[in-house]
């Protein structure tokens, strides 16, 4: 029994719709296969199905054999022909993304700061500490393959099934924990699906039936499945390799009777040393007790860095293989501000860091006095000192720091965290939560700024020679109105809260603003037609390309505000890749060329009477703030950890005019 059809499922059978499809297939007794371009896979394995990579508008055949074959084919074909199949359930399965957000270059310090005892990495979160080393290198599961006698095979399979059951039970227990964050819940749910998948578990059982011991069989099946994922072209699917390995590892450990180490037992004030810390481990780590984080992987804008900064934990990341040199250390000194660490530091280093650490604690206590300061210019205009955020988890830290709203909400993380494009409802809820948290201060939400270097489930990116000059930000969004309009509708819905503003990234042409406005009007018409409550929002643009600077006077006539993105503006003005440390010297916002671009932008905004702010890293620099404000900037948005220092700089009269509390 078989039937062919054209797949209408939105974005095809990627993670969530694939999982739902598999669940439906499993509800029938019949053996069911799905065939694409001559390749047939079991419809009861989400791993195999994901690897088949069934896209929207492709032709597939559903083939079934068994008692209820006809019903199975009918139900599955119906599913494939439903554009919204698998997408309608709110808060669909999120999973960890194995890919980090782009790492921004951190200018290397003067070479003389480097000594043989100090390992330099990315200065990801400032602060200094000396603490006991806590090495977190989950060990490789040893493979000692041995053959199992024919009469022991059934018992070995039973052992394997028990181990799988234990892992799934642990995951079920984790899911039942009410304190588990929604995003972490989704990570566990995704891993649980894999732990039940016949490609992995069935593959392992087949190896045991051939006489291999269960641990080796699990490792073998994991490697084979992970290799299939690693080989596919789709960068998102490639990233799923980590999930497969994580599940295989947990089953192997259960077979060996070993516990996966976790971070809950880390001693107070210890410095965590790891090659990488996955989202799942980080979510369970007691960040308020950790003295510092040192990692082989990660950059200044990686998830670890963002979380470390929002908890004021010093962090040095991106040490690469040198992280292994720290694995045996007893004590670690870390300077997150300058980006170096020392293993078993000598006395002068210890006391230098301890002094720095004490000074930082004192400074934090002193700066806390500025938390509620509302800085003003001499003419009474409020200078908004706002926060740059990437997720709702950071709201608390930003409010704690005294953020006057949000000057940049990077929506990328929301897209990168999920195994499918976040639904309009999920986005609207996220943006509304943000708006409510900071009301009446404004929250500026940036529309999706994603490029070929950051995979997102459901968006195919071409391989590009120069992703920074490529299909990113507003360019991609305008080419994909199906994705962009979902976000715009969600933003319009969240705007009923009254304090939502929206800005477009990477604008280099007035037409991009005009086209965005057309799409916004279309969204308004759609929301009106469906009687969905919404409100209009102020639309602004990021000024982060030289083109935008040069047309700033024209742009100012069409938007409500500018926000200067100095991170990208600097790299584009100076033609110096922000990720390339060899040109870090040129990647300097204080270069006269960049400063001139900022002045031109501010002047155009002031003359047009629109608000101009800044959300690049430079906004938090106390040495530059006075200059920015003199140029006409009235909003400065920064990492929450910089807010109080910036407020102090303004309040202490760097403007030559009294700022008031
Ligand atoms: C910038 O470019 O300055 C900016 C704030 O955006 P991002 O760092 O997210 O590219
Ligand atoms: Mg940018």
- HEC profile of 118-177: EEECEEEECCEEEEEEEEECCCCCCCCCCECCHHHHHHHHHHHHHHHHHHHHHHHHHHHC
The residue assigned the tokens 């499993």 is 26
With pLDDT > 90 as the criterion, what percentage of the chain qualifies?
56
Q: What is the pLDDT of residue 212?
A: 93
Mean pLDDT, rounded, for 617-628: 93
Report the separation in Å between the CA atom of 388 and the middle of ligand 1, taken as the mean of its atom positions.
10
Report the separation in Å between the CA atom of 637 and the middle of ligand 1, taken as the mean of its atom positions.
11
- Name the phi and psi angles at 88, rounded to 5: -80, -20
Q: Tell whether the model's pLDDT for residue 142 goes beyond 80.
A: no
Report the separation in Å between the CA atom of 121 and the middle of ligand 2, taken as the mean of its atom positions.
23
What mean pLDDT, rounded, does the chain reach?
Answer: 86
- pLDDT for 562-580, tens place per residue? 999 999 999 999 999 887 7
Encoded tokens for 436:
């409510």
* Residue of 447, 542, 618 to test ligand 1 pocket, by largest number of atoms within 8 Å of CB: 542
Question: Is residue 36 very low, low, confident or very high in pLDDT (cuts 50, 70, 90)?
Answer: very high
Q: Is the CB of 408 under 6 A from ligand 1?
A: yes
DSSP for residue 590 = T
Residue pair 292/96 in contact (Cβ under 8 Å)? The answer is no
Report the separation in Å between the CA atom of 617 and the middle of ligand 1, taken as the mean of its atom positions.
8
Q: Note the ligand closest to the C-alpha atom of 615.
A: 1
Q: Note the ligand closest to the C-alpha atom of 448.
A: 1
* Residue of 103, 299, 448, 568 to test ligand 1 pocket, by largest number of atoms within 8 Å of CB: 568
Among 158-167, 199-208, 272-281, name the one with the lowest average pLDDT: 272-281
- Name the phi and psi angles at 353, rounded to 5: -70, -40
Q: Is the CB of 394 under 6 A from ligand 1?
A: no
Encoded tokens for 59:
């032709």
Q: Is the CB of 442 under 6 A from ligand 1?
A: no
**CA 219 to CA 475: how far, in whole Å?**
43
Report the separation in Å between the CA atom of 542 and the middle of ligand 2, taken as the mean of its atom positions.
8
Report the separation in Å between the CA atom of 410 and the middle of ligand 2, taken as the mean of its atom positions.
10
**CA 636 to CA 624: how far, in whole Å?**
11
Question: Is residue 492 very low, low, confident or very high in pLDDT (cuts 50, 70, 90)?
Answer: very high
Q: Is the CB of 454 under 6 A from ligand 1?
A: no
Report the separation in Å between the CA atom of 598 and the middle of ligand 1, taken as the mean of its atom positions.
14
Ligand 1 atom with minimal separation from the 564 CA: 3
DSSP for residue 82 = -
Q: Tell whether the model's pLDDT for residue 656 goes beyond 50.
A: no
Question: Is residue 101 very low, low, confident or very high in pLDDT (cuts 50, 70, 90)?
Answer: very low
Helices (H), 27-83: 46-52, 69-80
Residue pair 258/120 in contact (Cβ under 8 Å)? The answer is no
Long-range CB pairs of 357-362 (<8 Å, 24+ gap) are 357/127, 357/128, 357/129, 357/130, 360/126, 360/127, 360/128
Q: Tell whether the model's pLDDT for residue 367 goes beyond 80.
A: yes
Q: Is the CB of 473 under 6 A from ligand 1?
A: no
Ligand 1 atom with minimal separation from the 567 CA: 3
Q: Is the CB of 326 under 6 A from ligand 1?
A: no
Indicate yes or no: pTM above 0.85: no
Q: Is the CB of 568 under 6 A from ligand 1?
A: yes
Give the right CATH number for 150-256 from 3.40.50.1820, 3.30.70.1380, 1.10.3720.10, 1.10.274.10.
1.10.274.10
Encoded tokens for 607:
């003359």
Residue pair 289/312 in contact (Cβ under 8 Å)? The answer is no
Mean pLDDT, rounded, for 129-134: 94
Helices (H), 423-509: 424-438, 473-479, 481-494
Atom 3, ligand 1: residue with shortest CA distance: 565
335 burial type by CB count under 10 A (0-12 exposed, 13-18 middle, 19+ buried): buried
Q: Tell whether the model's pLDDT for residue 98 goes beyond 60.
A: no
Ligand 1 atom with minimal separation from the 301 CA: 8
Q: Is the CB of 615 under 6 A from ligand 1?
A: yes
Distances, alpha carbon 330 to alpha carbons 53, 119, 325, 344, 370, in Å: 48, 16, 12, 6, 38
Q: What is the pLDDT of residue 107?
A: 36
Residue pair 121/316 in contact (Cβ under 8 Å)? The answer is yes
**CA 460 to CA 11: how far, in whole Å?**
10
Encoded tokens for 379:
């003419």
Ligand 1 atom with minimal separation from the 565 CA: 3
Q: What is the pLDDT of residue 97?
A: 28
* Residue of 302, 474, 565, 579 to test ligand 1 pocket, by largest number of atoms within 8 Å of CB: 565
Q: Is the CB of 48 under 6 A from ligand 1?
A: no
Q: What is the pLDDT of residue 171?
A: 82
What 3-state DSSP class applies to 276?
coil
| Non-local CB neighbours of 444 within 8 Å, separated by 6+ positions | 386, 405, 406, 407, 408, 409, 501, 502, 503, 540, 561, 563, 613, 615, 637
Q: Note the ligand closest to the C-alpha atom of 410.
A: 1
Q: What is the pLDDT of residue 181?
A: 59
* Helical (H) or strand (E) element with 307: helix 303-310
Ligand 1 atom with minimal separation from the 410 CA: 9
Q: Is the CB of 453 under 6 A from ligand 1?
A: no
Residue 477: active-site member: no
Nearest to 49 by CA among 157, 200, 177: 200
- pLDDT for 167-193, tens place per residue? 888 888 877 876 665 655 666 777 778
* Residue of 415, 476, 616, 621 to test ligand 1 pocket, by largest number of atoms within 8 Å of CB: 616
Report the separation in Å between the CA atom of 210 and the middle of ligand 2, taken as the mean of its atom positions.
54
Report the separation in Å between the CA atom of 377 and the middle of ligand 2, taken as the mean of its atom positions.
28
**CA 221 to CA 97: how far, in whole Å?**
22
- The backbone region for 304, taken as left when phi is positive above 0, alpha when psi lies in -120 to 50, beta otherwise, is alpha
Q: Is the CB of 11 under 6 A from ligand 1?
A: no
**CA 462 to CA 477: how far, in whole Å?**
14
Residue pair 417/190 in contact (Cβ under 8 Å)? The answer is no
List, edge to edge, every strand of the sheet that includes 118-120. Answer: 118-120, 340-343, 331-335, 128-136, 271-274, 292-295, 315-317, 122-125
Nearest to 19 by CA among 71, 117, 89, 108: 89
Q: What is the pLDDT of residue 661?
A: 42
Q: Tell whether the model's pLDDT for residue 452 goes beyond 80.
A: no
Ligand 1 atom with minimal separation from the 616 CA: 3
The catalytic residue among 10, 14, 303, 311 is 303
* Residue of 306, 389, 505 to test ligand 1 pocket, by largest number of atoms within 8 Å of CB: 505
With pLDDT > 70 as the criterion, what percentage of the chain qualifies?
88
Dihedral through CA 149, CA 151, CA 156, CA 157, nearest 10? 120
Atom 1, ligand 1: residue with shortest CA distance: 565
Q: Is the CB of 566 under 6 A from ligand 1?
A: yes
- Domain 374-459+466-660 CATH assignment equals 3.20.20.60: yes
Q: Tell whether the model's pLDDT for residue 83 goes beyond 90.
A: no
Residue pair 412/567 in contact (Cβ under 8 Å)? The answer is no
Atom 9, ligand 1: residue with shortest CA distance: 410
Long-range CB pairs of 571-575 (<8 Å, 24+ gap) are 571/468, 572/544, 572/545, 572/546, 573/546, 573/549, 573/597
Question: Is residue 54 very low, low, confident or very high in pLDDT (cuts 50, 70, 90)?
Answer: confident
Encoded tokens for 13:
């059978």
DSSP for residue 198 = I
Residue 303: active-site member: yes
Report the separation in Å between the CA atom of 308 and the middle of ligand 1, taken as the mean of its atom positions.
19
Question: Is residue 303 very low, low, confident or very high in pLDDT (cuts 50, 70, 90)?
Answer: low
- pLDDT for 228-258, tens place per residue? 877 776 656 665 677 788 888 889 999 998 8
Q: Is the CB of 616 under 6 A from ligand 1?
A: yes
The residue assigned the tokens 């290198």 is 137
Report the separation in Å between the CA atom of 413 and the middle of ligand 1, taken as the mean of its atom positions.
14
**CA 605 to CA 548: how far, in whole Å?**
12
**CA 56 to CA 39: how far, in whole Å?**
17
CATH fold of the domain at 2-87: 3.30.1340
Atom 10, ligand 1: residue with shortest CA distance: 568
Domain ranges of the chain: 2-87, 103-138+266-367, 150-256, 374-459+466-660
CATH fold of the domain at 103-138+266-367: Glucose Oxidase; domain 1 (3.50.30)
């Amino acid at each position: 029994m078989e039937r062919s059809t054209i797949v209408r499922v939105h974005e095809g059978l990627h993670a969530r719709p694939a999982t739902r499809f598999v669940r439906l297939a499993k509800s029938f007794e019949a053996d069911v296969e799905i065939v694409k371009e001559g390749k047939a896979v079991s419809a009861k394995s989400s791993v195999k199905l994901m690897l088949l990579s069934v896209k929207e508008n492709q032709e597939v055949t559903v083939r079934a054999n068994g008692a209820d074959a006809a019903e199975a084919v009918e139900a599955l074909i119906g599913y494939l022909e439903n554009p919204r199949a698998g997408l309608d359930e709110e808060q669909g399965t999120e999973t960890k993304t194995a890919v980090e957000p782009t790492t921004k270059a951190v200018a290397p310090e003067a070479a003389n700061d480097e000594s043989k005892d100090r390992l330099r990495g990315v200065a990801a979160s400032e602060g200094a500490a000396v603490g006991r080393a806590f090495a977190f290198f989950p060990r490789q599961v040893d493979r000692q393959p041995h053959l199992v006698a024919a009469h022991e095979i059934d018992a070995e399979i039973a052992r394997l099934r028990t181990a799988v059951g234990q892992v799934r039970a642990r995951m079920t227990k984790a899911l039942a924990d009410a304190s588990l964050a929604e995003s972490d819940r989704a990570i566990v749910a995704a891993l649980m699906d894999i732990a039940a998948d016949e490609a992995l578990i069935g593959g392992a059982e087949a190896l045991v039936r051939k006489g291999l011991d269960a641990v080796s069989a699990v490792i073998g099946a994991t490697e084979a499945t992970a290799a299939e994922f690693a080989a596919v072209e789709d960068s998102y699917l490639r990233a799923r390799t980590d999930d497969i390995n994580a599940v295989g590892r947990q089953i192997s450990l259960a077979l060996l009777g070993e516990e996966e180490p976790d971070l809950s037992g880390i001693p107070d004030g210890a410095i965590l040393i790891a090659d990488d810390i996955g989202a799942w481990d980080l979510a369970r780590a007691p960040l308020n007790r950790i003295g510092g984080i040192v990692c082989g992987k990660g950059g200044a804008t990686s998830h670890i860095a963002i979380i470390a900064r929002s908890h004021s934990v010093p962090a040095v990341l991106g040490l690469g293989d040198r992280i292994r040199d720290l694995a045996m250390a007893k004590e670690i000194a870390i300077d997150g501000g300058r980006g170096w660490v020392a293993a078993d530091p000598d006395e002068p280093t210890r006391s230098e860091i301890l002094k720095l650490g004490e000074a930082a604690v004192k400074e934090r206590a002193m700066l806390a006095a500025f938390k509620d300061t509302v800085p003003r210019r001499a003419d009474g205009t409020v200078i908004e000192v706002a926060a740059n955020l990437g997720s709702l988890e950071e709201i608390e830290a930003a409010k704690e720091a005294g953020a006057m709203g949000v000057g940049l909400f990077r929506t990328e993380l929301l897209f990168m965290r999920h195994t499918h494009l976040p639904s309009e409802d999920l986005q609207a809820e996220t943006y509304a939560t943000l708006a409510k948290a900071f009301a009446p201060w404004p929250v500026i939400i940036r529309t999706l700024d994603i490029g070929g270097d950051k995979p997102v489930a459901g968006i195919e990116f071409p391989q590009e020679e120069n992703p920074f000059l490529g299909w990113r930000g507003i360019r991609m969004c305008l080419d994909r109105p199906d994705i962009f309009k979902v976000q715009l509708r969600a933003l319009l819905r969240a705007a009923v809260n009254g304090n939502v503003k929206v800005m477009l990234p990477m604008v280099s042409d007035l037409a991009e603003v005009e086209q965005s406005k057309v799409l916004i009007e279309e969204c308004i018409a759609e929301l009106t037609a469906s009687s969905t409550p919404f409100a209009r929002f102020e639309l602004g643009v990021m000024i982060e390309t030289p083109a935008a600077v040069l047309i700033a006077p024209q742009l100012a006539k069409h938007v409500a505000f500018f926000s200067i993105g100095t991170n990208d503006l600097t790299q584009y003005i100076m033609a110096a890749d922000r990720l390339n440390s060899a040109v870090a010297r040129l990647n300097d916002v204080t270069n006269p060329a960049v400063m001139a671009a900022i002045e031109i932008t501010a002047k155009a905004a002031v003359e047009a009477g629109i608000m101009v702010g800044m959300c690049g890293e430079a906004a938090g620099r106390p040495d530059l703030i006075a200059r920015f404000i003199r140029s006409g900037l009235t909003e400065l948005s920064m990492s929450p950890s910089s807010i109080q220092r910036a407020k102090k700089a303004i309040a202490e009269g760097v403007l030559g005019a009294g700022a008031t509390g």
